[in-house]
Structure 1
Amino acid sequence: MENSHTFLYFAYGSNLLKERLQLKNPSAMIHCVGSLKDYKLVFGNHKGLASDRWHGGVATVEHSPCDEVWGVVWRMNMSDLESLDSQENVRLGAYSPVEVSVKTQDQELYCRTYIMNSCVYAPPSPQYLKVIVMGAEQNGLPKDYQDKLRAIKTNKYEGPLPMMTELERALRRAKERASHCRVARWGYLVFQDPAKSWQNVRQLKKRKRAPDTLLEANAGTDVAQLTINTCTLASRMPSRQDPCNCGRSQPVAVSL
Structure 2
Amino acid sequence: MSNTFFYFAYGSNLLSKRIRINNPSARRVGIGKLADHRLDFITYSTRWKGASATIVPHKEHYVWGAIWEISNNDMPHLDRQEGVHVNIYKPLHVQVQLLNESFLECRVYMQTIIPDYVEYIEHLPFERFPSGIYITTILKGAEECNLPEKYVKFLKRVPKNDYFGNAELKLELDIID
- TM class by shorter chain equals 0.7 to 0.9
Percentage of pairs with the same residue: 38
Deviations 1:43-95 (A, max 9, x none): 110xxxx3110011000000111111000110000010000000001011111
1:143 has 2:149 as partner: yes
- In structure 1, the residue matched to 2:12 is 14
2:50 to 56, 60, 66: 56
CA contact (8 A) 1:94 1:116 kept: yes
Deviations 1:225-256 (A, max 9, x none): xxxxxxxxxxxxxxxxxxxxxxxxxxxxxxxx
1:154 to 160, 163, 168: 160
- In structure 1, the residue matched to 2:103 is 108
1:153 counterpart letter in structure 2? P
Unmatched runs of 5 consecutive residues or more in structure 1:
172-256
SS in 1 for 2:23: coil
TM-score (normalizing by structure 1): 0.61
1:114 counterpart letter in structure 2? Y
Deviates more, 1:6-15 or 1:111-120: 111-120
Structure showing the higher strand proportion among its residues: 2
- Tell me which structure has the larger Cα radius of gyration: 1
Shift of 1:31: 1.0
1:154 counterpart letter in structure 2? K
Q: Distance in 2 between matches of 1:146 and 1:66?
A: 18
- In structure 2, the residue matched to 1:167 is 173
Q: Distance in 1 between matches of 2:130 and 2:170?
A: 14
Q: Superposed, which structure 2 residues align to 1:61-72 within 5 Å?
A: 61-72=55-66
Shift of 1:158: 3.0
Q: Distance in 1 between matches of 2:140 and 2:34?
A: 20
Question: Are residues 100 and 135 of structure 1, via their aligned partners in 2, closer, same or farther at CA, if it must alter by over 3 Å?
Answer: same
1:6 counterpart letter in structure 2? T
1:93 has 2:77 as partner: no
1:118 has 2:116 as partner: no
Unmatched runs of 5 consecutive residues or more in structure 2:
116-126
TM-score (normalizing by structure 2): 0.87
- Aligned CA RMSD, in angstroms, stands at 1.6
SS in 2 for 1:57: strand
Q: Higher RCO, 1 or 2 (CA under 8 Å, sep at least 6)? A: 2
